[in-house]
Amino acid sequence: MTDATSSQVPAAAPSPARSSLLTQSALMKKRNAAEARFKAYGVAAICVSLSVLAIMLWTIFSDGVSAFKQASLTFPVTLDADALDPKGNRERAEMMRVTTIGYTKLLNAQLLAHLEARGISTEGVSDKDVAAFISRDTPARLRDMVLEQPELLGQTITVEGFATGRIDGYIKGRVTRDTAALDTNISVAQLDLADRMQDEGILDTKFNWGFLTNPDASDQRPEAAGLGVALIGSAYMMALVVIMVLPLGVAASIYLEEFAPRNRWTDLIEVNISNLAAVPSIVYGILGLAIFINFAKFPQSSPLVGALVLTLMTLPTIIIATRAAIRAVPPSIRDAALGVGASKMQTVFHHVLPLAAPGILTGTILGLASALGETAPLLLIGMVAFVANYPAGPLDGGVLDPATALPVQVYSWASRSDPAFIERSAGAIIVLLAFLVTMNIIAIILRRRFERRW
Amino acid sequence: MYDAPNLETRVTQTNTKITARGVQVYYGDKQALQDVDVDILDNTVTAFIGPSGCGKSTFLRCLNRMNDTISNARVEGEILLDGENIYDKRVDPVQLRAKVGMVFQKPNPFPKSIYDNVAYGPKIHGLTRSKAELDEIVESSLRKAALWKEVKDRLGEAGTGLSGGQQQRLCIARAVATAPEVLLMDEPCSALDPIATAQVEELIDELRASFSVVIVTHSMQQAARVSQKTAFFHLGNLVEYGDTSHIFTNPSDPRTESYITGRIG
């Protein structure tokens, strides 16, 4: 280098001069702009997903909350002993001969009499259309009550029963005078009568416990349909799934992660577990149909078969989650335990599992949540059936009785024609969501508790 | 630092604890160690030094068969502990590790209480019959690890809540609690600050009275400070093994000299 060049070195880059820290360079501006854009994309994505969630929840709740309320008729009924016990001997077998039709006639007549007594005009509404206010559920319940307590015969009791779906819909705002004019099942005059009855307190809306406890009901009486059987069915299935999937999944994961040699067989198993996690759930339904129902001859529509299918379905997910949790335990802990002379099994059960427990728990509960919401495989094993009787208690073989499940009930109601089932469908979704949220909260609480212990 | 001639006389008085002959270690097809012959003495601190990847940690992990946990590791040759080949088919590595304790590079206390950390080894080996005996072992182990004074009032607290140096001493107490005959230390001070390092080094010197201590270290000063015997590993070979004073002042192999003077490694 010559003297000339060396002396020019500071002057060789005169153009950027000496950049000030107080002004941003062009490149810096570009970089900052890119960062700001990226943040904006992220915020936008979150906003979009939150608004979609909000819209979804809003539609479900606006449709479904009304399912928890139900219009009911309250009026005094004199139980005519001659009509309900023609032989007068209070024998159950004899009284059984009076079918619900007999009770329907009695209720219809008593409602008309009560309206007349209260001075409520039924002008423009035929007696038959007044009778149509009473749900077909009410006579059946009254009959059951009288058969239980024959001493009620001859007395006057206050009967509280559902109003029919259309009247219920009118009070909730689903049925309007405009739609009633087009509807052959209900007339505007009936709606006017409903208004008068509501003013007199005969027709009233109450919280509908029956929605959570009643079994399913047919299209003839949507107002009586409830989630009782579906809740029991789902509860049985979840309990069985936990009992089966947790030991299986955790044991398989521990073996694969801590004990199994790494060779072609374990590689094959690993690939297959990942693939099984991605198999569409309906395929498990077909498998369950073929194996548990056609081959093993387990009863159709039973929670046991449902739980077996859901166990198969969630097992890969839980194995993957558990293995990830086990793998996340630092190897230094294993070294430490082996170093003091713990056996492999002691290392796993004393040190690795407790540390992996929060992760295993989270994975299991998420797997259960997906099993709780699973519909497709249950359709194939017959759980979409109309089940009007409660399954027996868990110790009386209730898991073998026909039942439905919450998501299947949603599906089955959504596909029925009567509009009253639409609100029930949305209402059932609310119940399902409540269960899922509860499970997730339990998962979080348990995880916190475990983590605090260490 | 220390009185070299005095140490040498002490060394000569002790017996051989571990004898390694023709040890070869392979990771898959790759040979990590070849033909290592070493006699490790009782009541002596033996330091393994050498550049990274030279095989010193590998050899250390052979001594309590921790290499068994690495699926593709293979060990040949024989390592005798008190004359018994620890790679014999009849030897259960779990039983071996109760006799040959280990302290790791990174302090790795169990995420349990201080008490449980120390008590774990004696518990699983059934060394105690009563709670009182266990308490005694915990206390004496913590005393040996020079940690008792600091933690005696908070034995129920989490071991992971201690400082780095205390954690490492807790790990030493844990290793000591199973009453091992040999204590292996794999760079026990590399994650510690100078003050904690000094405490641990002092401790190592005290532990020498009860065990044979083998320490792997990156720091030559540390090797010089704490050990009586030093082995220098390079590229999978044991280059030189001898008295520490001899290795550091008058190495016989040119590679040892290069490493010690900072030209390789």
Q: What pLDDT was estimated at residue B227? A: 92
Count of CB atoms situated within 10 Å of the CB of A105: 15
Partners of residue B95 in chain A, C-beta under 8 Å: 341
Predicted confidence (pLDDT) at residue A255 exceeds the cutoff of 60:
yes
Q: Which pair of structure tokens corresponds to residue B81? A: 């502990």
| Chain B hits for A332, Cβ within 8 Å | 104, 106, 108
Q: Output the pLDDT for position A452.
A: 53
Q: Which domains does chain B have, with CATH numbers?
A: 14-260 (3.40.50.300)
What pLDDT is recorded for position A202? 87
Mutation pick from B110, B112, B118, B172 vs chain A, by most beta carbons of A within 10 Å, is: B110
pLDDT in the model for residue A17: 64
> Any chain A CB within 8 A of the CB of B65?
no
The domain spans of chain A are 68-208, 228-450
Residue A126: pLDDT band (50, 70, 90) is: confident
R_g over Cα of chain B: 18
Contact A342 B112 (CB under 8 A): no
User: Looking at the predicted structure, is the pLDDT value of residue A454 above 60?
Assistant: no
CB atoms within 10 A of CB B133: 12
Closest residue by Cα to residue A435 from A137, A227, A145: A227
Binary contact (A340, B101; C-beta < 8 A): yes
Gap from B117 CA to chain A (nearest CA, Å): 10
Contact B124 A330 (CB under 8 A): no
Q: Is the pLDDT of residue A2 over 80?
A: no
- Whole-angstrom Cα distance, residue A278 to residue B28? 34
| Residue A148 main-chain phi, psi, to 5 deg | -70, -45
Whole-number pLDDT of residue A420: 85
B219 φ/ψ angles, rounded to the nearest 5 degrees: -95, 120
Q: Which CATH architecture has domain A228-450?
A: Orthogonal Bundle (1.10)
pLDDT level of residue A16 (50, 70, 90 thresholds): low
Q: Which helix (H) or strand (E) holds A180?
A: helix A177-182
Is the Cβ of A339 closer than 8 Å to some Cβ of chain B? Answer: yes
Q: What is the pLDDT of residue A253?
A: 94
Which of A304, A315, A309, A276 has its CA nearest to residue A290? A309
Identify which has the larger pLDDT, B211 or B1.
B211
| Contact (Cβ atoms closer than 8 angstroms) between residue A340 and residue B101 | yes
What's the CA gap between B105 and A335, in Å, rounded? Answer: 11
Average pLDDT estimate for A100-118: 88
Q: For residue range A286-328, list pLDDT tens digits in order.
A: 999 999 999 999 988 899 999 999 999 999 999 999 999 999 8
CA–centroid distance for A42 within its chain = 31
Residue A406, judged by CB atoms within 10 A of its CB (0-12, 13-18, 19+), counts as: buried
A116 CB burial (10 A radius; 0-12, 13-18, 19+): exposed
Q: How many residues does chain A have?
A: 454
How do residues A21-67 score in pLDDT, each as one tens digit? 888 888 999 999 999 999 999 999 999 999 999 999 999 999 888 88
pLDDT tens digits for range A355-366: 898 888 888 988
Flag whether residue B188 sits within 8 Å of chain A, measured between CB atoms: no
Q: What is the pLDDT of residue A37?
A: 97
Phi, psi of B70 (to 5 degrees): -90, 120
Burial A261-300 (b: 16+ CB within 10 A, else e): eeeeeeeeebeebeebbeeebeebbebbbeebbeeeebbe
Please state the rounded mean pLDDT for residues A400-425: 89
**CB < 8 Å from A in window 221-250 of B:** none
Range B242-256 average pLDDT? 89
What is the reported pLDDT for B14?
62
Q: What separation in angstroms does the CA of B177 have from each of B60, B121, B133, B226? A: 20, 7, 12, 22
Q: Do A341 and B98 touch (CB under 8 A)?
A: yes
List of chain B residues whose C-beta atoms are within 8 Å of the C-beta of residue A355: 111
Size of interface A-B (CB pairs under 8 A): 69
Six-digit token string for B80: 């005798």
Q: Is B174 on the interface with A (CB under 8 A)?
A: yes
CA atoms of A47 and A44, how far apart (whole Å):
5
Residue A343 forms contact with B (CB below 8 Å): yes
B61: closest chain A residue by CA: A339
Q: Tell me the average pLDDT across B141-153.
A: 89
Which of chain A's residues have a Cβ under 8 Å away from the Cβ of B175? Answer: 339-340
A42 touches chain B (CB under 8 A): no
Decide if pLDDT at B6 tops 50. no
Is B70 an interface residue toward A (CB < 8 Å)? Answer: no
Q: pLDDT tens digits, residue range A65-83? A: 888 988 888 888 888 888 8
Asked if A341's CB is within 8 angstroms of B178's CB, the reply is yes
The answer to whether A439 contacts chain B (CB < 8 Å) is: no
> Residue A379 above 80 pLDDT?
yes
Is A346 within 8 Å of B108 when comparing Cβ atoms?
Answer: no
Determine the pLDDT at residue B7: 46
Query: Exposed/middle/buried for B13, CB within 10 Å: 0-12, 13-18, 19+?
Result: exposed
Asked if B178 and A261 come within 8 Å (Cβ–Cβ), the reply is no
Q: Do B110 and A351 touch (CB under 8 A)?
A: yes
Question: Quick one: CA torsion of B193, B196, B202, B205, rounded to 10 degrees?
Answer: -70
| SS3 per-residue string spanning A22-33 | CCCCHHHHHHHH
Distance between CA A239 and CA A368 in Å, rounded? 10
**Closest residue in A to B99 (Cα–Cα):** A341
Helices and strands of chain B, counted as H and E runs: 11, 10
Among A116-120, A345-349, B39-43, B112-116, which is the least confidently predicted range?
A116-120
- Give the CA angle between residues B154, B156, B124 to the nearest 5°: 130
- Chain B CA closest to residue A451: B111
- For residue A173, pLDDT over 60 is answered with yes
If you measure CA to CA, which chain A residue comes closest to B96?
A: A341
Sign of CA dihedral B77, B237, A341, B200: positive
Task: Tell me how many degrees the CA angle A152-A158-A162 measures, rounded to the nearest 5.
Answer: 115
Q: Which residues of A touch B97 (CB under 8 A)?
A: 338-341
pLDDT in tens, B37-69: 999 998 899 999 988 888 888 999 999 898 888
Chain Cα centroid distance, residue A275: 27
Q: Does the beta carbon of B251 lie under 8 angstroms from any beta carbon of chain A? A: no
What is each CA distance from A179 to A166, A176, A363, in whole angstroms?
Answer: 11, 5, 49
Q: What is the pLDDT of residue A6?
A: 46
- pLDDT on residue B54: 87
Cβ-defined contact of A332 to B108 (cutoff 8 Å): yes
Q: Which residues of B are less than 8 Å from A337 in CB distance?
A: 110, 120
Q: Is residue A328 less than 8 Å (CB to CB) from chain B?
A: no
What's the whole-number average pLDDT of chain B?
A: 87
Closest CA to A254 of A330, A311, A315, A323: A323
Q: For residue B117, what pLDDT is reported?
A: 93
φ, ψ for residue A418 (rounded to 5)? -65, 130
Distance, CA of B102 to CA of A192 (rounded, Å): 89
